[in-house]
């Protein structure tokens, strides 16, 4: 909820940031380096324990370095990631990251324990002059009674129970996927496409070390990547937004034994079986939420991160989008000497919003479209899924540009659209070859239905992102 206030608050800042996950620490330091005073309010500063936010694409790593946070991936047992291994009905194909033309080295991502990474971000935030960090629960987003402008926050100290109010020229809401305040400022509700069931494998024998693994077949997609020397994350997708199999009754264990274990590569089966019988399951909904124009929010308010924009985590693009947003927002706010001058701030937010579309729209559209293809819950999507695998087997630009889009280093939406429909057309061609002369009439009909399916998969997301 929001609350109205016209009273002077306890203390004033240029910026108040609600949340200290990925956005809070990085944005607070970037703004403090510009001479702006920042208050970060986080309800719990202990190490978080999440099952996503563990794989950072090369584009995210570049943004992290640009923000001066490269040290955050050091001393946390992070694992270099050199690309992806797609295993389709037991057949593997390697999709390596491309070579950086400047350094001559292969692009690199990182995977890690999410909580360790966040604590390193917070460590730098806590050591930065100009940043004040408060562990408290934000109870209200305050606004001026007359103008409606957001003026700051009211917080409750969880230990003492005391209530305090703080004022700011700009308030940033970045409190994550389960945002407490999103509904007050965004009418659209997140759409749940599926759920992940997560486990940690111990000393797993990875088919291709230092790669993210996507396992495809007649089952829902399975994602596997190493997060430490001895720990590997497995995320098992469960299609639909309906109730998950019960963990307490043992139904979840039976589901995973029947639907996941038999489809795993042989080298991974022992560690997966052990993890299933250990029963330490974590679940989370996979949500889609297109970004809204900052002009739609009240004066004085900015929404960022998963509180503002979400996509399916299958492609691991969330942190890349978030960190790139921080880089761009800090750049656009740097020339603003008075954040209280909202018309000027609003002009810069408009420029930020449209500049972020280059990368943000690519990652968002790709995440949703690829999930539709990889989940493939009907015959037309299965044709497209098979065509996608065959397309990757062609190599060259058929791999280099798609993996560059996925890794966040090729922020060109039209290149994404071109490859998506190239995959669709190639899938139709492959289907004709597979059906042969006898099945040609069926393949002819399927050419139209598959192309129509491809269009309705990508078009809604394109329209969302172009707004």
**Mean of the pLDDT values across residues 400-410?**
98
Query: Which residue from 179, 160, 136 is spatially nearest to 40, judged by alpha carbons?
Result: 136
CA 185 – CA 218 distance, rounded (Å) = 40
Task: Tell me what pLDDT residue 4 has.
Answer: 34
**SS3 breakdown of the chain: % helix, strand, coil, rounded to 5?**
45, 25, 35
Summary count for the chain: helices (H), strands (E):
12, 18
pLDDT digits (tens, 9 = 90+) for 263-321: 999 999 999 999 999 999 999 999 999 999 999 999 999 999 999 999 999 999 999 99
What CA dihedral angle connects 307, 310, 313 and 314, to 10 degrees?
Answer: 180
* 225 Cβ neighbours under 8 A, 6+ residues apart: 54, 55, 79, 81, 111, 211, 212, 213, 232, 233
Mean pLDDT of 88-98: 97
**pLDDT tens column, 183-240:** 999 999 999 989 999 999 999 999 999 999 999 999 999 999 999 999 999 999 999 8
State the distance between the two ends of the chain, measured CA to CA, in whole angstroms.
Answer: 27
CB 80 within 8 A of CB 134: no
**Which tokens is 5 given?**
């206030």
**How large a percentage of the chain has pLDDT more than 90?**
94
Determine the Cα–Cα distance for residues 437 and 355; give it in Å rounded to an integer: 49
- Predicted confidence (pLDDT) at residue 9 exceeds the cutoff of 80: no
Rounded distance between C-alpha atoms, residue 96 and residue 55, angstroms? 15
Within a 10 A sphere around the Cβ of 302, how many other Cβ atoms? 21
Q: What residue spans in the chain does CATH classification 3.50.50.60 cover?
A: 12-77+112-188+289-360
- The pLDDT of residue 467 is 77
Is residue 381 within a helix (H) or strand (E), and if so which, with residue range? helix 379-393
Q: What is the pLDDT of residues 306-324, one digit of tens each?
A: 999 999 999 999 999 999 9
By DSSP bridging, strand 38-42 and strand 55-56 are unpaired
Range 12-77+112-188+289-360 has CATH code 3.40.718.10? no
Dist CA 318 CA 368 (whole Å): 12
pLDDT reading at 3 higher than 70: no
Task: Give residue-wise pLDDT tens across range 419-462.
Answer: 999 999 999 999 999 999 999 999 999 999 999 999 999 999 99
What is the pLDDT, as a whole number, of residue 241? 87
Asked: is 192-287 a CATH 1.10.286 domain? The reply is: no
Checking if the pLDDT of 7 tops 70, the result is no
Indicate where the chain has its CATH 3.30.9 domain(s).
192-287
Q: Tell me: pLDDT of 371 over 60.
A: yes
| Burial of 377: CB neighbours in 10 Å, binned 0-12, 13-18, 19+ | exposed
pLDDT digits (tens, 9 = 90+) for 104-158: 999 999 999 999 999 999 999 999 999 999 999 999 999 999 999 999 999 999 8
């Amino acid at each position: 909820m929001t609350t109205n206030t016209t009273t002077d608050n306890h203390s004033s800042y240029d910026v108040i940031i609600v949340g200290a996950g990925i956005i809070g620490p990085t944005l607070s330091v970037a703004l403090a380096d510009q001479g702006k005073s920042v208050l970060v309010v986080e309800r719990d500063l202990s190490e978080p324990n999440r099952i996503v936010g563990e794989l950072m694409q090369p584009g995210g790593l570049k943004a992290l370095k640009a923000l001066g946070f490269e040290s955050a991936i050091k001393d946390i047992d992070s694992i270099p990631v050199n690309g992806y291994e797609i295993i389709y009905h037991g057949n593997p194909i390697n999709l390596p990251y491309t070579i950086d033309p400047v350094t001559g080295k292969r692009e690199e991502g990182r995977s890690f324990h999410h909580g360790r990474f966040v604590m390193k971000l917070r460590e730098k935030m806590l050591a930065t002059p100009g940043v004040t960090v408060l562990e408290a629960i934000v109870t209200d987003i305050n606004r001026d009674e007359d103008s409606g402008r957001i003026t700051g926050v009211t917080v409750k100290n969880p230990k003492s129970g005391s209530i305090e109010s703080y004022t700011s020229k700009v308030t940033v809401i970045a409190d994550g996927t389960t945002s407490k305040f999103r509904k007050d400022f965004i009418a659209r509700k997140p759409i749940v496409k599926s759920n992940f069931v997560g486990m940690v494998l111990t000393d797993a024998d990875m088919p291709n070390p230092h790669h993210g693994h996507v396992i495809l077949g007649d089952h829902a997609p399975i994602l596997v990547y190493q997060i430490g020397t001895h720990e590997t994350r497995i995320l098992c997708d469960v299609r639909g937004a309906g109730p998950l199999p019960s963990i307490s009754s043992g139904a979840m264990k039976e589901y995973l034994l029947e639907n996941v274990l038999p489809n795993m590569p042989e080298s991974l089966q022992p560690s997966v079986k052990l993890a299933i019988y250990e029963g330490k399951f974590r679940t989370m909904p996979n949500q889609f939420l297109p970004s809204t124009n900052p002009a739609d929010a009240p004066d004085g308010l900015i929404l960022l991160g998963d509180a503002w924009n979400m996509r399916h985590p299958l492609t691991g693009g969330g942190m890349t989008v978030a960190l790139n947003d921080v880089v761009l927002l800090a750049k656009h706010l740097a020339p603003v000497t008075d954040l209280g001058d909202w018309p000027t701030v609003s002009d810069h937010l408009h420029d930020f919003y449209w500049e972020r579309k280059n990368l943000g729209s690519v990652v968002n559209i790709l995440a949703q479209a690829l999930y539709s293809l990889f989940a493939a819950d009907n015959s037309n999507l299965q044709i497209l899924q098979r065509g996608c695998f065959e397309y990757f087997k062609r190599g060259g630009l058929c791999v280099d540009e798609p993996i560059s889009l996925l890794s966040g280093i090729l922020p060109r939406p039209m290149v994404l659209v071109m490859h998506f429909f190239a995959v669709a057309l190639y899938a139709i061609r492959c289907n004709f070859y597979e059906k042969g002369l006898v099945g040609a009439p069926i393949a002819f009909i399927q050419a139209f239905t598959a192309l129509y399916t491809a269009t309705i998969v990508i078009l809604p997301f394109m329209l969302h992102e172009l707004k």
